[in-house]
Amino acid sequence: MSKDDKTVNRRRFLKVAAGLPITAGLVAFASPLLRFLKPNVDPFALITPTSHDAPTGQPVVAATMDELKSPWDFKYFVYTQKYPQYTPDGFKTAAVPGVVIRLPNKIKMPWDWVKPVFKETPTVSETDIVAFSRICPHLGCIYNFVRDWKEVTAGYGGYVPPQQRQHSLMACPCHLSIYDPADPTMPGRVLSGPAPRPPRTFYYTVESDRILAKFVEPGGIA
């Protein structure tokens, strides 16, 4: 009996002795294999996937002041960014569609994100011009600026805004999130639908007569 036990033990010992280097070899392959799929990961950095995936963009003229004279004037613009892309080129230029809106009243700009990421301190804190990224913060479709709120009710899931919000709204065709661009405390507040947060904003400066969209709040998939 005791002889049998010994044989089993020796077998188990040999199994472990052979298994360990094989397992170690497989584990050693994990990092290169991941980098085959995602070349911009640092070697052995398995848990910090996104540090190299930040896009970069160039300032673009969103609109001139003439185009936004009266309340609820708006203009669509396109801000292009270079995104990392795992192709031989390594990069892809993708558009971030934006909308710049003249609001009827001044609101506080939600620009807390500008300083930590882009090292620039906004000089303006309250204004009546706001610029949003039109990439829906929910799942990335392009939402629309809808001049007449009745169109929102008719086409975007039957939402009827309360009295004080019956003005132009923003609404997404995919999952019917509805945003209020003129909310005084949170521009782009979610009024209805599944979106978890207001749309991302652009940081802009006004130079002579032109509104220059400089950065867009990071996050999401383009």
**Bridge partners for 127 per DSSP:** 107
Residue 172 touching another protein (CB under 8 A): yes
Of residues 122 and 161, the one with the C-beta less far from another protein: 161
Nearest to 54 by CA among 216, 213, 200: 216
Residue 120 touching another protein (CB under 8 A): no
Nearest to 171 by CA among 187, 149, 186: 149
Of residues 95 and 212, the one with the C-beta less far from another protein: 95
Residue 157 touching another protein (CB under 8 A): yes
Which of 35, 67, 73, 83: binder of another protein (CB under 8 A)?
83
Residue 38 touching another protein (CB under 8 A): yes
Which of the stretches 22-30, 103-111, 151-159, 200-208 binds another protein when contact is defined by CB under 8 A?
A: 151-159
Q: How many residues of this chain bind another protein (CB under 8 A)?
A: 44
Which of 97, 110, 122, 161: binder of another protein (CB under 8 A)?
97
Q: How far apart are the C-alpha atoms of 126 and 128, rounded to whole Å?
A: 7
C-beta of residue 171 within 8 angstroms of C-beta of residue 143:
yes
Which of 143, 179, 202, 203: binder of another protein (CB under 8 A)?
143
Residue 159 touching another protein (CB under 8 A): yes
Which of the stretches 14-22, 80-88, 107-115, 122-130 binds another protein when contact is defined by CB under 8 A?
A: 80-88
C-beta of residue 135 within 8 angstroms of C-beta of residue 159:
no
Which of 73, 110, 142, 205: binder of another protein (CB under 8 A)?
142
Residue ranges in contact with another protein by CB under 8 A: 37-38, 47-50, 53, 55, 78, 83-87, 89, 92, 94-95, 97, 138-144, 155-159, 172-176, 192-196, 220-222
